[in-house]
């Protein structure tokens, strides 16, 4: 253990599975005391128990982060349990999918609520707890907020909003040494990804569309979150750290084909 988060307290939403769970475990191994929150009790309770079994310090609070009062209570519970809040990871998300022409206003608002509003609720609550002390807030974006994706207009708009909201929040937090940054994952293995990948062909096709030729692991995103939570990033705020295997730096699929062909040719030579 390198103890990069020694003496720090972190609140992580959506911490029962996927990126949130990987982040909670990683933070604990780095010395943080972690409060896990999420909509479903079973996974966050189980993950907190696992962290304690591994020698870490963790607790949990069942929280629907789309409820602004619930996230305020989660922050209050963290302060009561651990006495401080140093890191806030707004990871939980809820969104809808559908063609624009058929997308209902209700589903549009659901995506905004489940991505943009939750970043606002969590950041605002963390600001109040961190004022006079400083801290690091990491909001979760998505490559869909940087690039268009059919069927995800609402989710993409919400995640794009998270990026600019975080810039403004970073400016407001700077006088109190409250840093606000965004981690932007690409396709990463999670419950949702496994449900969407209905065949080996789909998995292979998705992997081929990524320059690194594979789907990311939750722990790889957690490493980026850890960096922004730690003092190693003490002079970084208002920024976006993209963890996508190179996807957003690519103009089109043809570029991937060119890279593949070039690599193959070099190996032959």
d(CA 55, CA 62): 22
Measure CA 176 to chain center. Answer: 23
Quick check: 261 pLDDT over 80? no
Is residue 265 scored above 60 in pLDDT?
Answer: no
Distance of alpha carbon 74 from alpha carbon 87, whole angstroms: 13
Paired with 60 in beta bridges are: 36
- Assess if residue 2 is contained within a domain: no
Per-residue pLDDT at 133: 94
Instruction: Report pTM.
Output: 0.90
106-156 pLDDT per residue, tens: 999 999 999 999 999 999 999 999 999 999 999 999 999 999 888 899 999
Cα 51 from chain centre: 19
Classify residue 4: in a domain, yes or no: no
Q: Which residues are within 8 A (CB) of 91 and not within 5 positions of it... i.e. 6 or more apart?
A: 12, 13, 14, 15, 19, 20, 23, 140
Q: How many domains does the chain have?
A: 1
Residue 14 belongs to what domain range?
9-266
Q: What is the dihedral of CA 128, 129, 135, 136, to 10 degrees?
A: -70
Task: Look at residue 1 and tell me if it is in a domain.
Answer: no
- What's the pLDDT band for 202 if we cut at 50, 70, 90? confident
Answer yes or no: is 3 within a domain: no
pLDDT of residue 263: 45
The rounded percent of the chain whose pLDDT value lies above 70 is 90
Q: Where are the extended beta strands (E) located within 5-116?
A: 9-13, 33-38, 57-62, 87-90
Q: Does a structural domain hold residue 24?
A: yes
Q: Residue 216: pLDDT above 50?
A: yes
- CATH number of 54's domain: 3.40.50.720
Q: What is the mean pLDDT of the chain?
A: 90
- CA–CA gap between residue 210 and residue 216 (Å, rounded): 10
- pLDDT at position 106: 94
pLDDT at 256 over 50: no
Residue 83 lies in a domain: yes
Least confident interval from 161-165, 183-187, 261-265: 261-265
The C-alpha atoms of residue 184 and residue 141 are separated, in whole angstroms, by: 4
pLDDT band, residue 67 (cuts 50/70/90): very high
Q: b/e string for 22-46 if b means 16 or more Cβ within 10 A?
A: bbbbbbbbbbbbbbbbbbeeebbbe
Give domain status of residue 145, yes or no: yes
Between CA 85 and CA 94 the distance in angstroms is 25
Most distant pair of Cα atoms in the chain: their distance: 64
- The catalytic residue positions are 155
Spatial CA neighbour of 141 closest among 153, 158, 159: 159
In a domain, 245, yes or no: yes
Higher-pLDDT residue of 216, 71: 71
């Amino acid at each position: 253990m390198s103890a990069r988060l020694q003496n720090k307290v972190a609140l992580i939403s959506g911490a029962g599975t996927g990126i949130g769970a990987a982040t909670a475990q990683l933070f604990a191994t780095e010395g943080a005391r972690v409060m896990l929150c999420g909509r479903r009790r079973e996974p966050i309770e189980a993950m907190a128990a696992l962290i304690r079994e591994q020698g870490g310090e963790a607790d949990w609070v069942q929280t629907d982060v789309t409820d602004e009062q619930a996230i305020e209570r989660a922050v209050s519970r963290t302060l009561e349990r651990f006495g401080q809040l140093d890191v806030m990871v707004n990871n939980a998300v809820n969104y809808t999918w559908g063609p624009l022409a058929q997308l209902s206003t209700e589903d549009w608002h659901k995506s905004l609520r489940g991505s943009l509003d939750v970043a606002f609720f969590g950041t605002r609550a963390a600001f109040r707890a961190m004022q006079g002390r400083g801290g690091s807030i990491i909001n979760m974006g998505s490559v869909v907020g940087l690039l268009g994706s059919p069927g995800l207009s609402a989710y993409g708009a919400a995640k794009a909003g998270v990026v600019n909201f975080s810039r403004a929040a970073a400016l407001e937090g700077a006088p109190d040494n409250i840093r606000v940054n965004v981690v932007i994952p690409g396709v990463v293995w999670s419950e949702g990804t496994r449900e969407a990948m209905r065949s080996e062909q789909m998995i292979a096709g998705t992997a081929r569309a990524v320059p690194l030729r594979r789907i990311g692991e939750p722990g790889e995103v957690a490493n980026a979150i850890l960096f922004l939570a730690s003092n190693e990033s003490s002079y970084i705020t208002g920024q976006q750290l993209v963890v996508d295997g190179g996807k957003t730096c690519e103009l089109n699929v043809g570029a991937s084909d060119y890279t593949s062909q070039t690599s193959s040719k070099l190996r032959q030579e």
